[in-house]
Structure 1
């Protein structure tokens, strides 16, 4: 369901393999999955929101968990390809102050960092 790829030695990309709603059980599965990947070795982690149809409070908690993991090492969490609805939700919750939200593709975000 979830996929983690290294774009290079320092940039990791998290994405959903297929379109899904990040709610309840899916969020719990995501958190368990997150513990199996080495996010701490990345200077930047990009979350590709392309396949995220909807996100609830549990899904947001999962994003915050990723943020805590990467920021503990001084790394950045960048969210890309988010729907307008999800961007509005994150802005309303003022999480746009916590996450870096970019209006670009994963490829563009990686190019921007290199």
Structure 2
């Protein structure tokens, strides 16, 4: 089993929150807190999901809350390098039409 990790990277004009592992109920509050803290910077925020092997509804809820908070602030928020496992869940819930999905962090500035 892969361990869960979250890392924040302050890029050139953006903040990237890198997640890995399984985003489920046991960990989604930490993800939520990290995403909201990143949004407080005022910079565009991306959540990189390339190393996420599983996400449940609580993980999706944390991402939706980040999206809503960014929209309320007028900030840019995107999901970066979405793994196939996460993309399948987003498509099932039709959230791939809601979230801005980008292939790489530098696309946050485009």
TM over 0.5: yes
Residues 34, 82 of structure 1: alpha-carbon distance in 2 compared, 3 angstrom cutoff: closer
For normalisation by structure 2, the TM-score amounts to: 0.80
Residues 38, 86 of structure 1: alpha-carbon distance in 2 compared, 3 angstrom cutoff: closer
Per-residue deviation, residues 19-58 of structure 1 (Å, max 9, x unmatched): 31000111022224445x2413334211111221110001
Residue 18 of structure 2 is aligned with which of 15, 21, 26?
15
Query: Which SS does the other structure have where 1:41 is aligned?
Result: coil
**Residue correspondences, number:** 106
Q: CA deviation at 1:92?
A: 2.0
For normalisation by structure 1, the TM-score amounts to: 0.78
Counterpart CA distance in 1 for 2:54 and 2:41 is 29
Please, what is the CA RMSD of the aligned residues?
2.0
5+ long unaligned stretches in structure 1: none
CA contact (8 A) 1:5 1:14 kept: yes
5+ long unaligned stretches in structure 2: none
